[in-house]
Amino acid sequence: MAASVFDTREFNEGLFYPRADVSPTPRDAVDLSIPVDGATLHLRWHRPLPDAPTLLLFHGNGEVVADYDGAASRFAACGTNLAVVDYRGYGKSTGTPTLRDALRDAPLVVDALVGAGASQLVVMGRSLGSASAAELYAHPHPSIASFVWESGLVDLAALVARRGLRLQSPIPPDDLQTFDALTKLRRGDRPLLVLHGALDTLIVPAEAKLAFEAAATTKKELVFIAGRGHNDLSAERAYWDALRRHLQ
């Protein structure tokens, strides 16, 4: 059997853009170290609201947990604490990132956060992080109440093409089982908010519509943020209004 393109060095080196982070832990936050197979992940948990739910964010490419230190108060204003985790090789996390490992690590992150005291979670996947969110959507931990899908991706062929590679056609069943977000969204039933920039040219809005339609839940909302692209949704009030509605 031919090796999966998703396991090749060319694909993963073209997909991930890790950077280091030496930021101190902010006030009202704690840093957790999460052991995974062959590495340790860094998670920062902002807890200004002791009895509130926690939104667990799998961030976008090139980002690190410290990028969200300033946003924690805005999430708190929506009624949720914020936990952000770095992939392998990002920030203070060790190891080398691969897509397969990011999917394997996602349930371990949830287990660690619940073990640290989080009792009600909302999982959010932004851009690259939507792959981790989809993995959890198919088999959600009992503590996960709902999901937020921001600027997420579902088109595997487009994902590979952006790396300058070609995907086998048709996609092998094993790869669909492991990597296809639409397959996973069809299995889950948790409430889902899909947020996407109406002007996104990196991951086109049509992918958001596919994600929304695939999700098996009837409790779902699709919100396109007018005038925004891939990385600037949170600059609009409509973004926070939609998030607040979902959390309530």
Alpha helices in 38-95 (DSSP H): 72-77
Closest CA to 135 of 166, 157, 161, 109: 109
- Residue 171 is predicted with a pLDDT of 85
Mean pLDDT computed over 145-152: 98
Which tens digit of pLDDT belongs to each residue from 208-239? 999 999 999 999 999 999 999 999 999 999 99
- Retrieve residue 150's tokens: 């921001």
CA–CA dist 144, 238 (Å, integer): 24
Instruction: Judge if the upstream peptide bond of residue 50 is cis by omega within 30 degrees of 0.
Output: no
Q: Do residues 65 and 42 touch, judged by C-beta distance below 8 A?
A: yes
- Retrieve residue 239's tokens: 């973004």
Q: What residue segments make up the domains of the chain, in order of their start?
A: 5-247
On the question of pLDDT at 93 being above 50, the answer is: yes
State the DSSP H helix or E strand holding residue 110, giving kind and residue range, or none if neither.
helix 99-115
Which tens digit of pLDDT belongs to each residue from 150-171? 999 999 999 999 988 877 678 8
Query: Interior CA angle at 43 toward 38 and 49, to 5°?
Result: 155
Q: Do residues 178 and 103 touch, judged by C-beta distance below 8 A?
A: yes
Q: Which CATH superfamily is 5-247 part of?
A: Alpha/Beta hydrolase fold, catalytic domain (3.40.50.1820)
% residues pLDDT > 90 (the chain): 91
CA–CA dist 48, 26 (Å, integer): 11
CA–CA dist 85, 150 (Å, integer): 16
31-65 exposure pattern, b = at least 16 Cβ within 10 A, e = fewer = ebebebeebebbbbbbbebeebbbbbbbbbbebbb
CA–CA dist 89, 111 (Å, integer): 20
